[in-house]
Chain A
Amino acid sequence: DIQMTQSPASLSASVGDRVTITCRASQDIRNDLGWFQQKPGKAPKRLIYTASSVQNGVPPRFSGSGAGTEFTLTISSLQPEDFATYYCLQHNTYPFTFGPGTKVDIK
C-alpha cells in the first residue's frame, strides 16, 4: 500500500496567518491527490482535487501544488472558519490511502 505522511501533525496559527501543510507519498502518485477539510462531527469536505484544482465553491485562499511524491496545501490568510483537520488522499493506486491528518487550531 502507498503510505501517506503529513507534516506537521498539528499547528497553532492566528487569523490572517499563511499556513502550509505538506503531504508525502511513499511512491509516485502523479497528481492523483485530493485535500479534505473536516470539522468535528462533520463529513469531510473536498477542497482540492488532482493536486492543484480548487473545488467549486471553495474560497481562493486555498491552493494546492505538487506532483509525484510531494504536495502542499496552502491557506493564504487563515480565517476563523478554517480551524479544522486537513487530510490528503491518494487515489492513484488501490487501496486509496489517506494521510493521518493535520489539526489546525487557534494560537
Chain B
Amino acid sequence: QVQLVQSGAEVKKPGASVKVSCKASGYTFTEYSMQWVRQAPGQGLEWMGWINPKSGDTKYAQKFQGRVTMTRDPSISTAHMELNSLRSDDTAVYYCARSYSETSSGDYWGQGALVTVSS
C-alpha cells in the first residue's frame, strides 16, 4: 500500500534552516510528483510547491521563492523540503503529498512534520 512517512518534529531558532524528509513506499517513486503543503496552527492549508522525482524539476509558490529548496533521492525513494531563514510565522505542520502529475492534487499524504520556530 502507498505510504509516505515523514521525519519527526523539529524546533528551530529564527534565522535557522529546517529540512523535512518524506520517504515513499508502495509505488514507483519516480512515476509521481511530490507536492508540499503546510498548515499553521489553527489555520488553513497553504501550497508550497512540487518536485518531479524523476527529473528533479521543481515549481515553487512565489511566496517561498528564494527560501525553499525541494530535492529528492530516488535511490531511497525520499523527497526533501528545506526552508531557510525561518521566522516565527513558519511554525506549521509540513505535509508531503503524492500527485499523479504536477497539475493534479495529492492523493496520498504524509502524516505531517511539525516545525516550531521559537527563540
Interface residues of A (CB under 8 A from B): 32, 34, 36, 38, 43-46, 49, 55, 87, 89, 91-92, 94-101
For the complex of A and B, the 8 pairs showing the least CB-CB separation, nearest first, are A34-B105, A95-B61, A43-B109, A96-B47, A98-B45, A91-B105, A101-B44, A100-B44
- Tell me which of B46, B104, B109 contacts A45 (CB under 8 A): B109
* With A32-B103, A46-B106, A49-B107: A95-B62 Cβ-Cβ less than 8 Å: yes
Q: Contact check, B107 vs A44: say whether CB atoms are below 8 A apart.
A: no
A6 vs chain B, min Cβ distance (A): 10
- Tell me which of A43, A55, A99 contacts B95 (CB under 8 A): A43
B47 vs chain A, min Cβ distance (A): 4
Interface residues of B (CB under 8 A from A): 35, 37, 44-47, 59, 61-63, 95, 97, 103-107, 109-112
Number of A-B contacts (CB under 8 A): 53
Chain B residues within an 8 Å CB radius of A99:
44
* Sample of 29 A–B contacts (CB below 8 Å): A32-B103, A38-B45, A43-B95, A43-B110, A43-B112, A44-B37, A44-B97, A44-B109, A46-B105, A49-B104, A49-B105, A87-B45, A89-B105, A91-B104, A92-B103, A94-B61, A95-B47, A95-B61, A95-B63, A96-B47, A96-B61, A96-B105, A97-B47, A98-B45, A98-B46, A98-B47, A100-B44, A101-B44, A101-B45
